[in-house]
């Protein structure tokens, strides 16, 4: 009998689904690409045909221009080659999907990036029992345990209200994190205008066009220091320490990232208010998901593969590391 999942090949540039002649999240241009979500390390330009959710295709078009894209809705099944393909919510960012592949009685789930806790900007992760679960492991160490999102948002609001002469500048990844922070603030009753860096505006509009309501947003560019005092300003992490932030009224520098668990990372970026908010599963979410899906094998991608592999082995689950290159979630 053939090895389990022998029809799925792992290459440095992505996962190749042989019977469908398709690549998942390839880092090089391919004739047929299936894309889990819009982050640049998963969705690249230059492919022949792209299969993705409508949201992911819209994000790719905003970044790379027109795509030869085919939109697939969550849970819509299609047949390619000898493979049944479905996209199901991954709970990571707007439009993010796990790709469920069925071929000759074997089921493989490619998670892409995922998380398990609720996110007001995207559909919740749907667990699908499978033979092989291909999981990310960005935060695949027991030290990574993300606190409740609500308590982190409360810390942010508390800091804001403590000093109305200052603003709080929050560094947040432009695709997903920024919009999630805004929605979480609204859910906590914060309805003041929020100022945003120009690099986030286009994605904010894209989210709103898909029905994610962000409330009143104002461009930070052109606003005076007096106008921004006592307000929250959201910018990509790269803008935290650059010239751009000098226009702000004595900002308290915050950053929303799972990496903020590591003090040294916060110090490197001169972050005064680290907020541990991530769009990736933490250690408990990773292990809970594997327990729930009960796969025969777990294949592990980008991150700290070793610890999760060891955890699987001690739980009698066969595990292997996939050496895919180019996946980076430095700021997430
Ligand atoms: Zn991602
Ligand atoms: Zn990723």
Under 8 Å between Cβ of 90 and 114: yes
Near ion ligand 1, which residues have CB within 5 Å?
39, 113
Distance, CA 329 to ligand 2 centroid (Å)? Answer: 6
Whose atoms come closest to the Cα of 37: which ligand?
A: 1
Whose atoms come closest to the Cα of 176: which ligand?
A: 1
CA 69 from centre of chain: 21
Mean pLDDT of 298-302: 91
Distance, CA 114 to ligand 2 centroid (Å)? Answer: 9
Q: How far, in Å, CA of 321 to CA of 301, rounded? A: 6
Distance, CA 246 to ligand 2 centroid (Å)? Answer: 31
**15-42 tens-digit pLDDT:** 999 999 999 999 999 999 999 999 999 9
Distance, CA 25 to ligand 2 centroid (Å)? Answer: 10
Q: How far, in Å, CA of 222 to CA of 247, rounded? A: 9
Sheet of strand 83-89, all strands in order from the earlier edge strand to the far edge = 78-80, 83-89, 97-103, 106-110, 132-137, 297-303, 318-321
**175-218 tens-digit pLDDT:** 999 999 999 999 999 999 999 999 999 999 999 999 999 999 99
pLDDT of residue 108: 98
**227-282 tens-digit pLDDT:** 999 999 999 999 998 899 999 999 999 999 999 999 999 999 999 999 999 999 99
pLDDT of residue 169: 98
Distance, CA 273 to ligand 2 centroid (Å)? Answer: 25
Model confidence band, residue 302 (pLDDT cutoffs 50, 70, 90):
confident
Which of 49, 101, 112 is closest to 77 using CA atoms?
101
């Amino acid at each position: 009998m053939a090895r389990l999942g022998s029809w799925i090949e792992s290459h440095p540039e992505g996962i190749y689904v042989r019977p469908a002649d398709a690549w998942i999240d390839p880092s090089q241009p391919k004739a047929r690409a299936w894309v889990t979500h819009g982050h640049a390390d998963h969705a690249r330009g230059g492919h022949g045909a792209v299969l993705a959710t409508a949201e992911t295709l819209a994000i790719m078009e905003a970044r790379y221009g027109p795509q030869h894209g085919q939109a697939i809705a969550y849970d819509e099944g299609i047949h390619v080659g000898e493979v049944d393909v479905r996209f199901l919510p991954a709970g990571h960012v707007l439009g993010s999907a796990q790709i469920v592949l069925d071929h000759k009685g074997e089921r493989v789930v490619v998670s892409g990036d995922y998380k398990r806790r609720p996110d007001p900007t995207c559909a919740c992760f749907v667990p699908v029992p499978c033979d092989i679960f291909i999981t990310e492991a960005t935060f695949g160490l027991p030290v990574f345990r993300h606190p409740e999102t609500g308590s982190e948002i409360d810390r942010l609001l508390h800091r804001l209200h403590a000093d109305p002469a200052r603003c709080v500048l929050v560094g947040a990844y432009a695709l997903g994190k920024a919009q999630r922070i805004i929605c979480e603030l609204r859910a906590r009753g914060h309805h003041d205008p929020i100022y945003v860096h120009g690099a986030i505006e286009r994605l904010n509009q894209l989210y709103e066009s898909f029905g994610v309501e962000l409330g009143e947003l104002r461009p930070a560019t052109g606003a005076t220091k007096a106008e921004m005092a006592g307000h929250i300003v959201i910018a990509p992490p790269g803008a935290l320490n650059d010239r751009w932030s000098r226009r702000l009224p004595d900002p308290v520098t915050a950053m929303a990232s799972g990496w903020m668990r590591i003090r040294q990372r916060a110090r490197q970026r001169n972050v005064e208010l680290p907020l541990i908010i991530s769009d990736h599963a933490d250690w408990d979410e990773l292990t809970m998901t594997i327990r729930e899906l009960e796969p025969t094998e777990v294949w592990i991608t980008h991150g700290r593969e070793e610890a999760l592999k060891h955890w699987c082995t001690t739980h009698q689950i066969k595990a292997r590391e996939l050496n895919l290159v180019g996946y980076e979630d430095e700021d997430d």
